[in-house]
């Protein structure tokens, strides 16, 4: 029997029953016990990649950037594991080391930036010079954080790569970093080397064997200082030939790189992927980004690459990913609709062998989960803001929150995609110790407010003996798909001055037999 404890719950029930009468009904079967095919899912499935040029702004100049620390700790509290951080990207191939850059001068790094444009209001630095203290700032990350750090390969300067590797290794053996429980998970040698011939970093004559020369030097240096074999990130390509020629995991394997001195320390293969491009200034369409079939085709194109990597007993990650390249498309990447895209994109990735997704972040980028410092220029067109924009989370951050909560802190979670016979509704079940714990459903129909908001009624059928009879429903409420704020998760908001959650938790406990209504542009989590 459903007990109604307030007028609000009564109104909720009336609304739900009304919607059930008018909404399309879709039957969904959920197994109570985990299928043998359900893959284990990492607690740090949603991780971050940070553009190296503004690392100091993210982490703080000698003292912690409290806002950034808070939003990372939110995720750690839900999943029980710190978000993994990759520091590198385009600017890793523009970084050089100079011991004269001193922390005592509050410099940490010296950056040269190109002119801003309406398409790229916050461009990457063309030259970054760092000192040793730059790397020691890793001690300010949440305890237990694992870090991937990129070194310069694009400028063909072996000395630069050696000096950076030496400084990174010394930082991660320092008492400050070690006592903070921060570890160097891997070193990445070069970013998107398959694009070097086009961006002028190297001539078209370079090949994977030249990468091995750098890898041998980097691994020897890091191993000596760290007194262990540091894992190396392999590939980090912008795209893939999906064959044994060109640039791909298959080509790395075919060319014997894994058997070389440096390449033998490759433990992770990383590829980069964006769902579209804003580099020429052409806007994307929000519903295109959110479309369920497109999300799947964007990821399954890497299936042959993932298979090849797994056959070598290596881990496969998307070391850099997000919605639209060149920092995102205005009105798409920075919207609430993108939060639903990011959630479905991440959870589906876990089903095809992708261990983690490092969503790329930069200061002022449109597709950020987090804007960690005060901004004085618009992220959309670079115009001067009449009022500075304080540190804040963007809608995509809710994708990370929901994924972390759905996976949970057990370290023993498996997940499986559910069959939902609706072209725009996705569903996933999460099992802890092989028993159903939670399910997440995502309605990817873009509600823009111009027509009536539609919904789908999910009729749930739990298969297996001993299952529960009731469930708790928690909703990601979104004003419209193109909203840039105003989202709430279970009635609570992360759109706060300090990045900490605020507001009273609001959920409903109902019979499973009642099913659940999910509105266009909404996500729900069911706890059993």
> Which phi and psi angles does 206 have, rounded to 5°?
-75, 160
Q: Does the structure show a pLDDT above 70 at 389?
A: yes
d(CA 38, CA 349): 13
Q: Supply the CATH number for residue 168's domain.
A: 3.20.20.80
Residues 390, 417, single domain; the answer is no
Collapsing DSSP to helix, strand or coil, 74 comes out as helix
In this structure, the dihedral spanned by the alpha carbons of residues 407, 148, 375 and 81, taken in order and rounded to 10 degrees, is 30
Per-residue CA distances from 309 to 49, 269, 281, 301, 355 (Å): 21, 7, 35, 14, 12
| Residue 1 within a domain | no
Residues 50, 30, single domain; the answer is no
| Residue 280 within a domain | yes
> Which pLDDT value is given to residue 2?
39
| Residue 342 within a domain | yes
| Residue 420 within a domain | yes
| Residue 153 within a domain | yes
Per-residue CA distances from 158 to 97, 184, 191 (Å): 12, 21, 15
d(CA 470, CA 330): 42
Span 278-289, pLDDT tens digits: 988 777 789 999
Residues 53, 31, single domain; the answer is no
> Which pLDDT value is given to residue 19?
46
> Which pLDDT value is given to residue 259?
95
Say if CB 476 and CB 522 are below 8 A apart.
yes
Share of the chain above pLDDT 90, in %: 89
d(CA 342, CA 349): 10
Taking the CB of residue 203, how many other CB atoms lie within 10 A of it? 9
- Mean pLDDT of all residues in 415-439: 98
Residues 340, 477, single domain; the answer is no
d(CA 202, CA 152): 12
| Residue 502 within a domain | yes
Name the token pair of 208.
Answer: 């994977």
In this structure, the dihedral spanned by the alpha carbons of residues 95, 96, 101 and 106, taken in order and rounded to 10 degrees, is 10
Taking the CB of residue 104, how many other CB atoms lie within 10 A of it? 8
Residues 232, 164, single domain; the answer is yes
> Which pLDDT value is given to residue 8?
35
Q: Does the structure show a pLDDT above 90 at 15?
A: no
Contacts of 218 (CB under 8 A, 6+ apart): 151, 161, 162, 165, 187, 189, 232, 262
Asked which of 363, 384, 407 is the last residue of a domain, the reply is: 407
Range of the domain at 335: 46-407
Name the token pair of 47.
Answer: 């991780």
Angle CA(509)–CA(512)–CA(515) in degrees, nearest 5? Answer: 100
d(CA 149, CA 131): 15
Q: Does the structure show a pLDDT above 50 at 223?
A: yes
> Which pLDDT value is given to residue 131?
95
Query: Total structural domains in the chain?
Result: 2
> Which pLDDT value is given to residue 205?
64
E runs forming strands in 278-374: 315-325, 357-361, 370-371
Residue 204 confidence class, pLDDT cut points 50, 70, 90 = low
CA-nearest of 125, 140, 122, 132 to 61 is 140
Share of the chain above pLDDT 70, in %: 95
Say if CB 499 and CB 393 are below 8 A apart.
yes
Say if CB 148 and CB 185 are below 8 A apart.
yes
Residues 379, 424, single domain; the answer is no
Residues 398, 456, single domain; the answer is no
CA-nearest of 275, 272, 195, 185 to 236 is 272
Residues 191, 317, single domain; the answer is yes
Span 301-310, pLDDT tens digits: 999 999 999 9
- Across the chain, what does the average pLDDT equal? 94
Q: Which residue has the tokens 């890091």?
A: 222
Per-residue CA distances from 42 to 46, 350, 406 (Å): 9, 8, 11
511: β partners: 470
> Which pLDDT value is given to residue 104?
72
d(CA 150, CA 236): 10
Span 83-121, pLDDT tens digits: 999 999 999 999 999 999 987 777 899 999 999 999 999
Residue 22 confidence class, pLDDT cut points 50, 70, 90 = low
Span 458-492, pLDDT tens digits: 999 999 888 899 999 999 999 999 999 999 999 99
Based on its alpha-carbon atoms, the radius of gyration of the chain, rounded to whole angstroms, reads 23
Q: Supply the CATH number for residue 483's domain.
A: 2.60.40.1180
Angle CA(491)–CA(394)–CA(275) in degrees, nearest 5? Answer: 120
Residues 347, 416, single domain; the answer is no
Span 165-194, pLDDT tens digits: 999 999 999 999 999 999 999 999 999 999
Residue 406 confidence class, pLDDT cut points 50, 70, 90 = very high
Residues 316, 423, single domain; the answer is no
Asked which of 407, 433, 460 is the last residue of a domain, the reply is: 407
Judged by average pLDDT, the poorest of 319-328, 391-400, 458-467, 487-496 is 458-467
> Which pLDDT value is given to residue 281?
79
| Residue 2 within a domain | no
Span 327-371, pLDDT tens digits: 999 999 999 999 999 999 999 999 999 999 999 999 999 999 999
Q: Does the structure show a pLDDT above 70 at 125?
A: yes
CA-nearest of 514, 524, 519, 292 to 419 is 292
Quick one: angle between helices 336-351 and 292-300, nearest 10? 40
Q: Does the structure show a pLDDT above 60 at 4?
A: no
Residues 53, 35, single domain; the answer is no
d(CA 58, CA 64): 9
Asked which of 407, 432, 466 is the last residue of a domain, the reply is: 407
Collapsing DSSP to helix, strand or coil, 164 comes out as helix
Q: Does the structure show a pLDDT above 90 at 159?
A: yes
Residues 259, 393, single domain; the answer is yes
- Mean pLDDT of all residues in 70-85: 98
Say if CB 39 and CB 429 are below 8 A apart.
no
3-state secondary structure 99-157: CCCCHHHCCCEEEECCCCCCCCCCCCCCEEEECHHHHHHHHHCCCCCEEEEEECCCCCC
């Amino acid at each position: 029997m459903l007990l109604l404890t307030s007028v609000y719950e009564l109104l909720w029930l009336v609304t739900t029953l009304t919607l059930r009468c008018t909404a399309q009904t879709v039957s969904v079967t959920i197994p109570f016990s985990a299928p043998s095919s359900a893959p284990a899912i990492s607690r740090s499935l949603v991780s971050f990649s940070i553009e190296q040029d503004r690392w100091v702004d993210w982490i703080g100049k000698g003292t912690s950037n409290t806002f950034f620390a808070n939003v990372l700790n939110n995720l750690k509290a839900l999943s029980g594991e710190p978000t993994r951080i990759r520091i590198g990207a385009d600017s890793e191939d523009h970084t050089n080391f100079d011991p004269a850059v001193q922390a005592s001068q509050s410099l940490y790094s010296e950056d040269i930036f190109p002119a801003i444009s309406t398409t790229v209001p916050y461009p990457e630095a063309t030259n970054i010079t760092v000192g040793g203290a730059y790397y020691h700032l890793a001690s300010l990350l949440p305890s237990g954080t694992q870090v991937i750090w990129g070194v310069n390969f694009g400028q063909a300067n072996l000395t630069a790569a050696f000096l950076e590797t030496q400084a990174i290794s010394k930082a991660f053996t320092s008492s400050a970093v070690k006592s903070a429980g921060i570890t160097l998970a891997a070193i990445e040698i070069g970013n998107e080397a398959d694009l070097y011939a086009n961006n002028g970093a190297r001539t078209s004559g370079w090949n994977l064997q030249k990468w091995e020369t750098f890898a041998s030097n980097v691994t020897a240096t890091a191993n000596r200082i760290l007194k262990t074999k540091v894992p190396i990130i392999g590939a980090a390509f912008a795209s893939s030939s999906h064959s044994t020629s060109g640039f791909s995991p298959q080509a790395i394997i075919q060319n014997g790189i894994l058997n070389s001195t440096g390449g033998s320390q490759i433990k992770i293969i990383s590829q980069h992927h964006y769902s579209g491009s804003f580099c020429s200034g052409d806007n994307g369409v929000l519903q295109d980004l959110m479309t369920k079939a497109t999300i799947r085709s964007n990821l399954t194109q890497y299936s042959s690459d993932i298979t090849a990597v797994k056959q070598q007993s290596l881990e496969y990650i998307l070391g850099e990913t997000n919605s639209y390249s060149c920092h995102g498309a205005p009105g798409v990447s920075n919207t609430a609709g993108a939060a639903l895209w990011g959630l479905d994109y991440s959870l589906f990735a876990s089903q095809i062998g992708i261990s983690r997704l490092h969503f790329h972040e930069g200061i002022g980028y449109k597709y950020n989960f987090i804007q960690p410092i005060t901004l004085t220029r618009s992220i959309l067109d670079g115009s001067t803001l009449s009022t500075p924009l304080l540190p804040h989370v963007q809608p995509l951050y809710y994708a990370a929150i929901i994924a972390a909560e759905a996976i949970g802190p057990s370290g023993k979670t498996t997940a499986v995609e559910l069959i939902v016979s609706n072209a725009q509704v996705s569903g996933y079940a999460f099992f802890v110790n092989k028993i159903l714990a939670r399910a997440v459903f995502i309605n990817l129909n873009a509600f823009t407010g111009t027509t009536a908001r539609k919904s789908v009624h999910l009729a749930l059928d739990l298969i297996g003996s001993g299952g529960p009879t009731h469930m708790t429903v928690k909703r990601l409420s979104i004003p419209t798909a193109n909203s840039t704020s105003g989202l709430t998760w279970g009635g609570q908001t992360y759109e706060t001055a300090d990045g900490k959650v605020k507001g009273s938790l609001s959920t409903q406990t109902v019979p499973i037999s009642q099913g659940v209504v999910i509105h266009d542009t909404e996500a729900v989590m069911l706890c059993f």
